[in-house]
Amino acid sequence: MTLENVSSQKSFGGWHKRYRHRSTTLNCDMVFAVYLPPQAEQGTKLPVLYWLSGLTCTDENFMQKAGAHRLAAELGLVIVAPDTSPRGDGVPGDPEGAWDFGKGAGFYLNATQEPWSRHYRMHDYVVEELPALVEANFPVSDRRSISGHSMGGHGALVCALRNPGRYRSVSAFSPITNPLNCPWGEKAFSRYLGEDRSRWREWDACSLMAQAAEQLPTLVDQGDRDDFLASQLKPEALQASAQAVDYPLTLRMQAGYDHSYYFIASFVDDHLRHHAEALKG
């Protein structure tokens, strides 16, 4: 559980820091980033927003491009951004070097199939190991929320829905809502989880929402000029699942926006306020 500080950069009066550590869940070294707002130096324990990035990303994309530090500094919110998959020479990747499977594409699940099952356990890393590490090493409370983009939006929804009591709120930008029924999900799940599609439902936000044991305030933003909207993201499927069980989902279709970080930056303040409200007290 030793953390090696990779870098420290002052940002909006707080600090953006990156750490390397040995992950026992993933059996490899991992790097994550944390934004510590100025209030972290004042002795009170702060709530934490976990951010899960999308395909091909690392811990850096959100921190550099989302413009989230400004309001996090005002709200006193810690943000933790893990990498998107296990990493390193000892970790198997996609045999053809694809960008939508393997390294950079862990899909925030626990793989059951060889050779992936030894390393690809991002769900347990994000939900258990990383928060334990963060809560032992930084001035934070056990009040947690979770958000993410695209594959990470899927991750945020699934982590929240699978773990009642663990998070106070959830949100997502352009999430893969129904990986059971889209090409990205079918490719990844068939390899990580095997061909028995009945096991895939445990990692599908639409399926999980239909039998949710807890109702969390849920905000989803989706651009209507997102190239992946119809084929991969399917917000209408999530909307239908929510309506069937009266789940408190706010889905906002944003006119003109695409899948990029310009979209995320445009609405990230709304998401931070959504979480800060749920994390209060």
Q: Considering only 10-18, 158-166, 172-180, 237-245, which stretch makes contact with its own copies by CB under 8 A?
A: 10-18
44 is a contact residue toward its own copies (CB under 8 A): no
> What does residue 107 show for φ and ψ, rounded to 5 degrees?
60, 15
Tokens of 125: 């890393």
Nearer to its own copies (CB atom), residue 17 or residue 143: 17
108 part of the interface to its own copies, by CB under 8 A: no
- How would you class 270 by CB atoms within 10 Å of its CB: exposed for 0-12, middle for 13-18, buried for 19 or more? middle
- Cβ distance to its own copies smaller for residue 225 or 252: 225
- Told to judge if 226 belongs to the known catalytic residues of this protein, a careful annotator would answer yes
- Asked whether position 260 contacts its own copies by CB under 8 A, the answer is yes
* Residues with Cβ within 8 Å of residue 41, at least 6 apart in sequence: none
Angle, vertex CA 42, rays to CA 5 and CA 58, nearest 5: 35
* Number of residues forming the site for its own copies (CB under 8 A): 22
Burial of 41 (0-12, 13-18, 19+ CB in 10 A): exposed
By CB under 8 A, tell whether 257 contacts its own copies. yes
Nearer to its own copies, 37 or 185 (CB): 37
Active-site entry in 85, 150, 169, 174: 150
- Choice between 9 and 141, CB closer to its own copies: 9
C-alpha to C-alpha distance for 52 and 160, rounded to whole angstroms: 12
Q: How many CA atoms lie within 13 A of 196 on its CB side?
A: 7
Of 3-11, 133-141, 174-182, 186-194, which segment contacts its own copies by CB under 8 A? 3-11
Position 265 contacts its own copies (CB under 8 A): yes
Q: Give yes or no for residue 99 binding its own copies (CB under 8 A).
A: no
Is 16 among the residues that bind its own copies (CB under 8 A)? yes
Tell me which of 259, 271, 274, 275 is the catalytic residue: 259
Q: Which of 6, 13, 88, 197 binds its own copies (CB under 8 A)?
A: 13
List the one residue from 197, 225, 252, 280 that touches its own copies (CB under 8 A).
225
- Whole-angstrom distance, CA of residue 7 vs CA of residue 180: 39
Q: Is the dihedral of CA 135, 138, 144, 146 positive or negative?
A: negative
Measured from the CB atom, is 150 or 178 closer to its own copies? 150
- Rounded-to-integer distance, Cα 106 and Cα 108, Å: 5
Contact 173, 221 (CB under 8 A): yes
Among 164, 166, 87, 171, smallest CA distance to 132 is for 166
- Of 128, 123, 51, the closest CA to residue 86 belongs to 123
Instruction: Show the binding pattern over residues 63-82: x = contacts its own copies (CB under 8 A), - = does not.
Output: -xx-x-xx------------
Question: Which two structure tokens, joined as six digits, stand for 272?
Answer: 């931070």
- Our CB check for its own copies shows the closer of 16 and 121 to be 16
Q: Which residues are identified as catalytic? A: 150, 226, 259
Residues engaged in binding its own copies (CB under 8 A): 9-13, 16, 64-65, 67, 69-70, 223, 225, 256-258, 260-263, 265-266
